[in-house]
Structure 1
Amino acid sequence: MELTLTRTAKRKTYTIGRLAVDGEPFCDTLEPTWRDIGYGRPGRKIPGRTAIPAGRYPVVITYSPKFDKWLPLLLHVPMFEGVRIHAGNTAEDTAGCILVGENLKPGMVLNSNIWVHRLKQKIVEAKARGEGVWITVK
């Protein structure tokens, strides 16, 4: 299964995106501020306030002690650890993770718990079919 996160609005305090599953629009996303911290380029990571670098990452579901639930986890994200896809509404609810929901208000995603549940369900179904799950962030 291929997830694609296309960042559509890079603002001073947050980043809005659109998540697609196997090419089909799925939901909106919210991340911290995007900063150009890629390999060989200028910029610097500000812990807890920086969106992950663009790239393609494997996704698994593991238990999160912080959230006390099973959540998607992105693996091998350069300069980051523990990047999850989880519920939240504003950039204050993420320290680098991807929040999913509906971008119905500027700088926010709403109905986040519903969208996390739906995404987890799709990932579990893909894994049950023996598929790998990847996310491309651009």
Structure 2
Amino acid sequence: MHIRVMREPSINDTTLGSLFIEDHWQCHTLEDVIRPTGEKVRSKTAIPPGCYRIILTMSNRFKKIMPEVLNVPMFTGIRIHSGNTAKDTAGCLLVGQTRSVETRSIGRSRAAYTALMLKLRAA
């Protein structure tokens, strides 16, 4: 399955955006800061916007099957998981059903993650 990640400009250490599956909005996203092309700080850099293939694989860190984002230039091991602020990302995509620009956070993250997993498992 493929996803498309669209985002807004970073505010401080946070980048809010949206995740689409087959051109249908799925959920809000939260990532680390966007950096200039070619510049990367490990676990503190948003992936480039674009379309990516995702598969379900075992995460060594989380010890469970999770979505992995493939073929991201300069990145490996990118996961989609729940969380609410940039402190939770470690360079991964966080998903949520609500968002707040004021607090630079997303909410109802576990619900968004569960809905995404149901869609991925059904594909």
Q: TM-score band, normalised by the shorter chain?
A: 0.7 to 0.9
Q: Distance in 1 between matches of 2:2 and 2:43?
A: 26
Structure having the larger proportion of residues in strand:
2
Q: Any gaps of 5 or more consecutive residues in structure 1?
A: 39-43, 127-138
Q: Distance in 2 between matches of 1:66 and 1:2?
A: 23
AA matched with 1:102:
Q
Q: Distance in 2 between matches of 1:56 and 1:4?
A: 4
Q: Any gaps of 5 or more consecutive residues in structure 2?
A: none
Q: Distance in 2 between matches of 1:110 and 1:77?
A: 26
1:49-128 equivalences under 5 Å are 49-106=44-101, 107-126=104-123
Q: CA deviation at 1:16?
A: 0.2
Q: Distance in 2 between matches of 1:31 and 1:104?
A: 12
Q: Return the TM-score normalized by structure 2.
A: 0.88
Paired residue secondary structure (1:104): strand
Note if contact 2:28-2:106 (Cα within 8 Å) is conserved in structure 1: yes
Q: Distance in 2 between matches of 1:2 and 1:78?
A: 16
- Percent of pairs with identical residues: 40
Q: Which has the higher contact order (CA 8 A, sep 6+)?
A: 1
Q: Distance in 1 between matches of 2:112 and 2:17?
A: 14
Q: Distance in 2 between matches of 1:18 and 1:97?
A: 14
- The reply to whether residue 19 of structure 1 matches residue 29 of structure 2 is no
| RMSD value, Cα | 1.6
Paired residue secondary structure (2:5): strand
Q: CA deviation at 1:3?
A: 2.2
AA matched with 1:91:
A
Q: Return the TM-score normalized by structure 1.
A: 0.79
Q: Which has the greater radius of gyration?
A: 1
AA matched with 1:119:
L
Alignment coverage as a number of residue pairs: 121
